[in-house]
Structure 1
Amino acid sequence: MKTASIHPSSSLMTLLSAMALTSPLALNLFVPAMPDAARSLGVDINTIQLTFTSYLLMLAVGQLISGPLADFFGRRPVLLWGLALHIIGSALAAVAQDISFLVAGRVLQALGGSTAMSLARTVIVDLYGRQGAAGKMGYMVMAIAIAQSIAPTLGGFLNLWYGWNATLLLPIVIGSVVMAATFKWLPETCEQKSDNLRLGRVLGQYGNVLTSSEYLGYALSTTFIATAFYMFVGSSPYIVIDLFGGNSAQFGSWFLAVSLAFMAGSFLSTRLAKWLNIDRMVMLGNSLSLFGAGLLLLFALEAKLSMFTLFLPMALVTFGRGFSQPNAQSGAIACASGSAGTASGLMGFIQLLTGGLMAQITPWLMQQGLVVLMSSILAAPVLAIICHSYSWHRRSAKATHA
């Protein structure tokens, strides 16, 4: 079906948002249970961290693969197969009795979920174009924020009441519902499919996308802001439980502030899109994130970290991310005309590979002290601003000479 014959509707946006939140929901449900899962399985913090890191890395690899597949086969069939794999992985992780099976289940869960994350963004650009997608992407990011706000709280109580395995059952239900809805209601939005899937051509597509300095500026900007969030998620459960003496339910409840701030920023970005262009929205969001990260470091330097001073400054970081992420993502994808699926998948790969690597070294950063950890979180929005400023300058220079 050609894009021109598709009439975007609110119900279709709801479905796309549900697709996008499936994998973040599965990722964050398990986070509050990680310390208890480590004790139950008899492993240390570095080993249990693999369940988080492997998830992020496979999200990265999966998006790298799903982009070219969707450009060749179309968005719809690749989405359906990805959701099926997500359900299978969720089931394997839910019944795991040792760390090997748990990690294997998380790998399959993430590999399938990556398809929904990447291609939901691609379908929006298919339907609405570059500038129109920026506002719509905000609704999707807001849906992800809702999932992230609910998941840690729900996961914390499920872990407290029923054990850590319970946090892996809900993704089976969510994934099944989204898959059924996708099968029934999602049309094909790829107007012109790729004519071959040879490795050389796929690598050539990625090479063409990577040669765009504008694309890299947007992609790296959203990558670094996401990295700050992944470092926080990878460290805060242990800070709350081991340093503050809290439990998984308390962590989940306080984490609501972080996720609700992300949701609020995403919602406001959809409203401000009428008055501010993509680049001004990205700069506004990155600046807010920088201020929040600076407060985190200040409280760490003053040895005044508490539940309040840990979660509320991070809420400001994610509030800014709600502004910057949807705009940076739509800007990056639109830079690769004719290869939207490839561009979206590559952006997801860059973001999640970087986030996964940083999440795995987060325990080491914690061993160096909270000041080092918070300094690393502060470095993320600084780098995001530098990358976006370069891309913005390149776009402005092109517009001047046009």
Structure 2
Amino acid sequence: MSNQIDRDAQGRSDASPPAGVRRPPLWSLILITALSPFALQVLVPAMPGLVDDFGSSRGVVGFSLTGYLLGMAVGQLACGPLSDRYGRRPVLFGGLVVFFVGSVFCLVATDIWPLIAGRVLQALGASAGMVLSRAIVRDLYDRERAAQMIAYITAGMIVAPMAGPVVGGYLYELFGWQSVFWFVMAFGAVVTAACIAFVHETHFDRGVTTSMGELWQGFGFLLRMRRFRGYALQVAFTTASFYSFLGGASAVTVDIFGQSASDYGWWFVMISGSYMTGNFISGRIGMRVSSDKMITLGTTLSMTFAFALLVVTLSGSLTLPVFFLLSGVMSIGNGFSMPNGFAGAVSVDPTRAGTASGLSGALQTAIGALLLTVVGYTLADSPLPVVLMMLTGSVLAWFAHRHGMRRRGGCFFCLAS
């Protein structure tokens, strides 16, 4: 059954976009993708102040992040199939409206829980840009060119989570936490203006579904496709490996190696730069090297250096430069595999590109948040839990892609079958 579905979709995987469709400039797709990760990261420096201003606890204030991740997962699940049914542009603007409503909720909040609710709404709305940028690319390009474009979008978008904490920190120190949300709304206004001017409708083949019930059945259709499972889970587990690093790297730097928080910020720039480099290289050679070869190279590179990091950690000879150097090489591998994995996921059936983008993005967020939580609960006075979770994610990403490449099917969870 899985193989038959794969063969049926394969015939549609190289569909061409309608003639005369206007292609948005690359920078506009980077902007709509960057809105969500920027809004996620920009509040982080203000969180200690929220504890004092609202008289709340660190744990409750932390829900402003976990609630945002939940909103991202749910929003991606909803926006993808809705865009397949109603078009990319209406769903994108609907998401921006929800984003602005959530931002207003945050601005006028006099208690922490309304602010958390506003953060969830922000994430629900901003997730439309993350989903639809990939779907729009797949509407306009074949699979290999789509992988190249997604790599460039990701390389540009990575500036947002790098800049978010810096911008948020300065705004909070100078003007208070409300200024963070004013700035986010201003950024959202810029994104909206870019969408109005440059992002036109690209999805016209909406005959794949006739009702909302059939629309949601698209999730089951995709999950029965071995190739989709392979790509989506590869992306999810690669992200989980990186989230594991994010969840513990600051504690490793400050608590274990005794460096300052600003020192961690500079080390993290190297990781972001490595990931950006991997995406840029992937974009440059994407038309000459197949997506599957790039995924194999990237997942193998990340898995190999994660294992090397484990060996160094167990030997007791781990230093901070070695920790970040090996993690940086892993990030280059992630830059090879991630855009190609997303391109593969949205290419198995281009008529469901939005649904595929949303489902793969939701899996990415959910599995990444799971490993992030595990790291948070297990991290103590050793970097070993972080390293183990990074290795776990890398190994599972490698097996997920192998699962998708096999000629015969296998169960959703039995990745090596």
In structure 2, relative to structure 1, the CA distance for the partners of 1:41 and 1:227 (3 Å cut) is farther
Matched letter for residue 367 of structure 2: T
Query: TM-score when scaled to structure 1?
Result: 0.88
Matched letter for residue 264 of structure 2: F
CA deviation after TM superposition for structure 1 residue 255, in Å: 1.7
CA deviation after TM superposition for structure 1 residue 275, in Å: 2.2
User: Which residue does 1:5 correspond to in 2?
Assistant: 19
Matched letter for residue 27 of structure 1: L
User: Which residue does 2:6 correspond to in 1?
Assistant: none
8 Å Cα contact 2:256-2:381 kept in structure 1: no
User: Which residue does 1:388 correspond to in 2?
Assistant: 401
After alignment, is 240-249 or 357-366 more displaced? Answer: 240-249
8 Å Cα contact 1:71-1:194 kept in structure 2: no
In structure 2, relative to structure 1, the CA distance for the partners of 1:91 and 1:264 (3 Å cut) is farther
1:71-220 alignment, distance < 5 Å: 71-94=84-107, 96-159=109-172, 166-194=179-207, 198-220=211-233
In structure 2, relative to structure 1, the CA distance for the partners of 1:45 and 1:361 (3 Å cut) is farther
3-state DSSP class of the match of 2:237? helix
Find the aligned partners of 1:97 and 1:69 in 2 and give their Cα distance: 34
1:2-401 alignment, distance < 5 Å: 3-6=17-20, 9=23, 12-34=25-47, 37-38=50-51, 46-94=59-107, 96-159=109-172, 166-194=179-207, 198-243=211-256, 248-302=261-315, 307-367=320-380, 369-394=382-407
Identical-pair percentage: 35
3-state DSSP class of the match of 1:4? coil
After alignment, is 73-82 or 155-164 more displaced? Answer: 155-164
Query: How many residues are paired up?
Result: 394
Instruction: Indicate the RMSD between aligned Cα atoms, in angstroms.
Output: 2.8
Structure 2 unmatched ranges of 5 or more: 1-15, 410-417
8 Å Cα contact 2:247-2:375 kept in structure 1: yes
CA deviation after TM superposition for structure 1 residue 12, in Å: 2.1
Find the aligned partners of 1:218 and 1:186 in 2 and give their Cα distance: 27
CA deviation after TM superposition for structure 1 residue 89, in Å: 2.1
In structure 2, relative to structure 1, the CA distance for the partners of 1:284 and 1:80 (3 Å cut) is same
3-state DSSP class of the match of 2:201? coil
In structure 2, relative to structure 1, the CA distance for the partners of 1:206 and 1:363 (3 Å cut) is same
8 Å Cα contact 2:305-2:330 kept in structure 1: yes
Find the aligned partners of 1:254 and 1:157 in 2 and give their Cα distance: 20
User: Which residue does 1:399 correspond to in 2?
Assistant: none
User: Which residue does 2:8 correspond to in 1?
Assistant: none
Find the aligned partners of 1:244 and 1:163 in 2 and give their Cα distance: 32
CA deviation after TM superposition for structure 1 residue 49, in Å: 3.5
Find the aligned partners of 2:195 and 2:408 in 1 and give their Cα distance: 36
8 Å Cα contact 1:46-1:363 kept in structure 2: no
8 Å Cα contact 2:208-2:351 kept in structure 1: no
In structure 2, relative to structure 1, the CA distance for the partners of 1:387 and 1:260 (3 Å cut) is same
Structure 1 unmatched ranges of 5 or more: 397-402
